[in-house]
Amino acid sequence: MIRVAAVAFPLAPMTGDAWAAAVRARVRAAVDQGAALVLFPEYATAGLLPHGPWEHWDDLWRATAVAAARDYGCTVVLGSHLVRTPAGPRNRVAVVRPDGGGWDQDKLHPTPWERGWDLASTADLIVAEAAGARVAVLTCYDVEFPEACRAAARAGAELLLVPSWTDDHQGFHRVRRCAAARCIENACAVVHAPLVGGLDDPPGFEQACGAAGILTPCDTGWPPDGIAAAGPMDHATVVVGAIDLAAIRRARTTGTVTPLADARPESGYRLRSAL
């Protein structure tokens, strides 16, 4: 059993000190409720942009994650931050364990809007252990690709971490409903943490919509609707819920349905056009 937290983090102008304090306050609130892993949203550092460009905040983003994980004894997944690399800018998530170890996961599929920034994509998807669970990070749009999540599940991922930023409600529901489908397809759980609020400047971050949530398979022993916990729409909240990892593992072979075990490769279908 693992308790996890999804943070709906505010998109609002903040100084560096205020932002770090806001992160730490939410990690502390999650740990006070027993969370061993705390997920923040995509572009969690966007509220700093009125006070300086992305690269100005690289060290603060990393140092805040490391310090919060160490001080509160949990794994901190500090959303994502736009990082400049020789290959181009990348939308990067930092996963930090209490001992300071961890890894970075770059977004696999930049959105059409992000491609306008020349955001670099990657095919590298990491599955690793955090807080006793086997996890993978699928950032926002990534969870809309079943093959990416299926690859993570087949590599052992039991918990998919989905930080998101969506600027309208249909975008939020796209991500949330795809995340729910991935739970059923792969007998896994999803932690979904959105950005909420908005900025007057810079352009592009005027609005962020969503609600934090923890999703499960829809099967015996799980909530019938597959929602273990959910927060209110468009409010900055910390949502904590429990995931039974042993039940996840059992569901993959003995669930009411077993789509992960029963799935065929695409080459396993004989396609015939009737057009």
Query: Any idea what the CATH number is for the domain that residue 42 is in?
Result: 3.60.110.10
pLDDT of residue 267: 77
In a domain, 7, yes or no: yes
In a domain, 157, yes or no: yes
Q: How far apart are alpha carbons 83 and 146 in whole angstroms?
A: 26
pLDDT of residue 190: 98
In a domain, 21, yes or no: yes
pLDDT of residue 265: 82
In a domain, 117, yes or no: yes
In a domain, 196, yes or no: yes
Domains held by the chain: number:
1
Contact criterion met (CB below 8 Å) for 107 and 91 = yes
pLDDT of residue 273: 80
pLDDT of residue 242: 97
- Strand ranges inside the chain, DSSP E: 2-7, 9-11, 37-39, 75-85, 88-96, 102-106, 127-130, 133-137, 159-164, 189-197, 213-215, 227-230, 238-243
Task: State how far the alpha carbon of 15 is from the alpha carbons of 44, 50, 52, 79, 194, in Å.
Answer: 13, 9, 10, 18, 21
pLDDT by 10s per residue, the chain, length 275: 999 999 999 999 999 999 999 999 999 999 999 999 999 999 999 999 999 999 999 999 999 999 999 999 999 999 999 999 988 899 999 999 999 999 999 999 999 999 988 998 899 999 999 999 999 999 999 999 999 999 999 999 999 999 999 999 999 999 999 999 999 999 999 999 999 999 998 888 999 999 999 999 999 889 999 999 999 999 999 999 999 999 999 989 888 998 898 888 877 888 888 77
In a domain, 245, yes or no: yes
Q: How far apart are alpha carbons 87 and 168 in whole angstroms?
A: 30
pLDDT of residue 272: 84
In a domain, 273, yes or no: no
In a domain, 274, yes or no: no
pLDDT of residue 76: 98
DSSP string, 40-91: --TTTTGGGGGGS-GGGGHHHHHHHHHHHHHHHTSEEEEEEEEEEETTEEEE
Q: Provide the residue range defining the domain that includes 144.
A: 2-268
